[in-house]
Structure 1
Amino acid sequence: MAVIGRPDVPEGPHRRLVDALHEVYLRAGAPGVRTIAQRGGVSRDTAHRVLTNPALPTWPALEAVVAALGGDIGRFRALWVAARQPDAAPVAEPPAESGAAAGPSVRVLVVEDHPLYRHALVQAMDAFGHVVVGTAANGEDAVSLALETRPEVILMDHFLPGLLGIDATARIRSADPAIRVLIISAGATGELTLAALRSGAHGVLSKDVEADGIDRAIRAVARGEVHVPAGSAAPPEVAEPREAGEQELKPRERRVLQLVAEGYTDVQIAERLAVSVRTVRSYLDRVRDKTGERRRAGLVRVALESGLVRPRPGGATPDASSG
């Protein structure tokens, strides 16, 4: 099978992108267009055009081909952004094995009323290889834009003019449960964390977190995990027992719930308790029946409300994807 040659483009950011793509293509064994198309979920024409056309490809097409070839998505996102702005100051290419943007890009909607912070969030998303599908400055626009663009994750400021972030979240999640929301606030208190989880959000993020912390939180939420800041659980005096006629949990059931909220998977819980995974899931079924919460995010909320657990640093706990 003939090796696909690289297109001829002038020296500059676009050339660096082309060279890097050809290098990844050769390192992957120079697969045929059919194979690349099947792996990337695109047409053969699209795969061929990305590899051979001297014009700059669209990001979704390039991302699909890079993913099919096993390339670093974050690295190519940075190269592509630089190639779109050839007259701008040179952009340092991140190392090929950079962990800053490890994993696939996430489609993000940024909702923030402060222009400077909103711009900073958008820049951070670009730097980490995510795709910003839009921005909004108030809750009403956030709802309409979310249902129009269908992002994977929404970075939602809480204190928005008009409709508050948690109220906008409730409306969005009611209309499309597949959209995940990460509430951002200058004061990520226990009360806000509980209110956010009740609204359907998948977590809370403090505005003083570093950029890589935002990236980790977005990727965690996109994977279906719940992100709560360390120490954000409601204090004992406000964490009251739930009252929906729920049955009291037995000690072993409470222990399983605690481990779920602390971020352990079913397999890890089984190892810690020296029981089978099947037994752990049996306990979880009982906990779900007694609490009325079917998803792991709801179980985390129950554990926080009861004061059973305080989140560990890093704050990510798995959702229903782990069973």
Structure 2
Amino acid sequence: MDVAENVASGLLLSVLLGLARWVSAWWRWRRNTPRISLDLLESLMGKPLPKPDPVELRGGAHRQLNDLLHKLHSRANYPSPFAIARVLGVSRTTLHDAMSKPKLPSKDVAVRLALAYGSQIRWGAKADPDDELDSIDRRVSELWETAHQEAVLPDPEHVKHVVREVWDDMTSGRGPYPPDHPVAEALARSTISISAFERFVFAIVDTRDRDDRITLGCRAEGSFYIDLWKKDLTEEVRHRLAPVRISVFSVDLTEDVEFTIADGLIGGYVPPASPPDPA
């Protein structure tokens, strides 16, 4: 019995020692094995990419281009950014910036990214994938070209020239108001001064006749403040300048102006001196 007990005790001790060595080896392996982060796991599974800040990315062709890229990404069932970046031969940062930053990506990246998404879309049975990709190519190229032109700062002299053209049309009856309309007649008896700086345009309309000031909506004269002619002037100027964009276009009567910007400087408006009364 002593021999049997010794053998059994030895076998049990061997099993316990082996189990302890296995547990120790497993723990060292688990501790040294790299973990997959939650962000990496989510990116491998595919998810919507964040959009640019809407305040920084204002309306225009650039926003339409960004919306189209996100729409294609959604229709392609959110392919992995890692896989798309590898296919395009660009970094994941470049892809992320094209989708999520307000800066306009290069045309090559925008077109190739859109086509990569388009190639992953399951088109309907009646659709020709090649025709769909050609349509995507043309649309992205057109939006990029327009967005690129919108990003160019306008020439101040050209802006002033366009504003003057629209003003002349409105005062001569070639605009939204016929020649005998009270607004057209009041504007024809007024003068306009224009300041342009980068994307800021300020127009000051100087009206001397009190009835004209009332017609044009001068609050200082107690008139009912309706200034649709300002909106008409602004919209027509923006239309003629397109695709070049103007951020701020302010049109004011002299009595309504609190400050004006000319040559990049801000200062109070000083009306021109009235001529002396004849003796």
Superposition TM-score, scaled by structure 2 size: 0.30
Q: Which structure would you say has the larger Rg?
A: 2
Superposition TM-score, scaled by structure 1 size: 0.26
